Amino acid sequence: MVDIEAAIGFVVARGDRVDRARLSWLRNGTAPHPGLLDAVEAGQTPDGGWPAILDDAVPSVDATCFRLGELDDLGAIGRSAGRKAMDWLAARQRADGTWEEDSALADVAPEWARPGDPEAQLYLTANAAYWIAVAGLGARSSGPLDDRVGGAYAGVVQGAAQALAAAIEPDGSWPSYLATGWLSAAVLHGQGMYLESARIQGVLGDRLPEMAAADAAWLAATFSRVSMAPGNRVLQAALDRLGETQRSDGGWDSADGEQFDVHTTLAAIRACLPARTPAG
């Protein structure tokens, strides 16, 4: 079982002001100071995306999804910056329902987002569709939007879901990174494509007993955020895995180095606490 109080203590002790603000929203629904939100949103390009490298003029799909995740943890995904990011992501979707990074980023993009790589393309498609769905649901509380998952961008999410479903192998596996699996399962579930989502979940469930702590945290946070049933077998197994891998100091190991342990721990906390309705 996860020791949530120890996890909270870890973030308080090790996190920076943005980390602690995220924790306050996740725990209590306490809105952050507007100045902090301005700092998180800094660097957004006029088109609405965020670059992966500070002051770069070329926005990145992956970096924009990361910023949307931060804003979501601050209850601020429905702000103007979040809506502009949705606009940009929707405009970047290709005719076949997928996303790919700008070719100008070929020399600087990480492996999982490299232009021209089919595995990266599938990952970016799942990631962008997931955050458009989440942001659409959040923005709905701030104004009238389509009542389908994805809000005004329901067609965008639906097109992505079709592309993701077409990539699933007969055994439920997918030709991309592990994270693509849980993001795709959440998107497909939200679009009512339950059979396709269940096939992916079967593979994820088989892999969970040996899954790294960070992967279990992100899987659980992803499923929890889109309100997959509390009795969901894979979600419960991921929470059990978090209980097994939590350290004595309350945190969890990140796959990207110690400096990201707080980020991973916040994902675990997000998975264990009820989702909150974002502010406008």
Please name each of the domains of the chain with its CATH number.
Answer: 4-272 (1.50.10.20)
DSSP letter assigned to residue 33: P
- pLDDT of the chain along its 280 residues, tens only? 899 999 999 999 999 999 999 999 999 999 999 899 999 999 999 999 999 888 788 999 999 999 999 999 999 998 899 989 999 999 999 999 999 999 999 888 888 999 999 999 999 999 999 999 888 765 444 444 444 444 567 788 999 999 999 999 999 999 999 999 999 999 999 889 999 999 999 999 999 999 999 999 999 999 999 888 768 999 999 999 999 999 999 999 998 889 999 999 999 999 998 876 555 4
> Of the candidates 42, 59, 41, which has an alpha carbon nearest to the alpha carbon of residue 50?
59
CA angle 177–251–207, rounded 5-degree value: 30
- What the block records as the tokens of 121 is 């393309």
- What the block records as the tokens of 142 is 């701030």
DSSP of 223-280, one letter per residue?
HHHTT--TT-HHHHHHHHHHHHH--TTS----TT-GGGHHHHHHHHHHHHS---PPP-
Q: Is there a contact between 132 and 84 (Cβ–Cβ < 8 Å)?
A: no
The pLDDT value given to residue 256:
85
pTM here is 0.92
CA-to-CA dists, residue 23 to 103, 185, 267, angstroms: 36, 26, 10
3-state class of 48 per DSSP? coil
